[in-house]
């Protein structure tokens, strides 16, 4: 391909501590660069943007929460550890809460996370959240920040906005607070997608018993 099908956004660099000073909780990758990460993903797609069956590392591509969102599901080809854990008797003492934002310029919101004394288990799967170029360009205009990591990526069809390391392959619900932020619109760091009340209730059920790992 003369241009990558999937590109790395500056927003998603929060998952690569060596390339970002973000302190947000969730999945972190330190053994490869963000550019190497998307190069691995792009090997799984042909020039038309169709997933190549059986091509490492992407297992499948799922529809996301809106028409501008897709999820590339892959085996974990990095050193990423799980970004979430269920709350149990052994780890509840390490739960912390506070106000934080994902990037500069966003309003801080109340979040909850584990501050563990040992590393969590290595993730078995990566669920890579992709937004269409059109959506990313709309959000770029509203948020007035760099869009893609590299100028070469400007013609990519999709951009990485999140990397979710998981122990299970099935989808973990988006956090209720992220749904709230999305509904506030692009000027507040969201996508503009209105809240789906049923999806919100399912998210509350999940995040009532789980927390992010910092």
For residue 170, what is the domain's CATH number?
Answer: 3.30.2310.50
Token digits of residue 85? 């854990």
Count of domains for the chain = 1
Residue 28 lies in a domain: yes
Residue 137 lies in a domain: yes
> What pLDDT, in 10s, does the model give residues 171-193?
999 899 889 888 888 777 778 88
Which residues lie below 8 Å from residue 179, measured CB to CB, with a gap of 6+? 195, 196, 199, 200, 203
Q: Which domain holds residue 191?
A: 6-213
Say what the pLDDT of residue 187 is.
77
Token digits of residue 10? 């500056």
Residue 147 lies in a domain: yes
Distance CA 120, CA 154 (A): 36
Q: Which residue has the higher pLDDT, 109 or 27?
A: 27
Residue 72 lies in a domain: yes
Mean pLDDT is lowest, of 23-32, 56-65, 111-120, 143-152, for 143-152
Question: Is the Cβ–Cβ distance between 95 and 85 less than 8 Å?
Answer: no
Other CB atoms within 10 Å distance of the CB of residue 187? 12
Residue 1 lies in a domain: no
Written in H, E and C, the secondary structure of 145-189 is CCCECCHHHHHCCEEEEEEEEECCCCCCCCCHHHHHHHHHCHHHC
Residue 52 lies in a domain: yes
């Amino acid at each position: 391909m003369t241009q990558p099908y999937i590109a790395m956004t500056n927003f998603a660099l929060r998952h690569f501590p060596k390339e970002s000073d973000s302190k947000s909780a969730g999945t972190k990758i330190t053994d490869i660069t963000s550019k190497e990460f998307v190069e691995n993903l792009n090997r799984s797609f042909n020039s038309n943007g169709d997933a190549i069956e059986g091509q490492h590392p992407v297992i499948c591509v799922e529809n996301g929460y809106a028409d501008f969102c897709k999820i590339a599901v892959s085996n974990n080809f990095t050193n990423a550890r799980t970004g979430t854990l269920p709350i149990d008797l052994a780890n509840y003492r390490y739960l912390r809460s506070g106000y934080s934002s994902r990037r500069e310029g966003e309003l801080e919101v109340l979040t909850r996370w584990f501050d563990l004394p040992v590393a969590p288990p290595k993730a078995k799967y990566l669920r890579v959240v992709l937004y269409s170029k059109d959506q990313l360009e709309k959000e770029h205009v509203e948020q007035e920040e760099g869009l893609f990591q590299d100028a070469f990526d400007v013609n990519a069809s999709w951009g990485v906005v999140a990397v979710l390391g998981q122990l299970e392959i099935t989808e973990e619900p988006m956090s209720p607070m992220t749904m709230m932020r999305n509904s506030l619109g692009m000027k507040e760091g969201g996508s503009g997608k209105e809240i789906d009340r049923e999806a919100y209730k399912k998210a509350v059920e999940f995040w009532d018993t789980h927390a992010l790992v910092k």
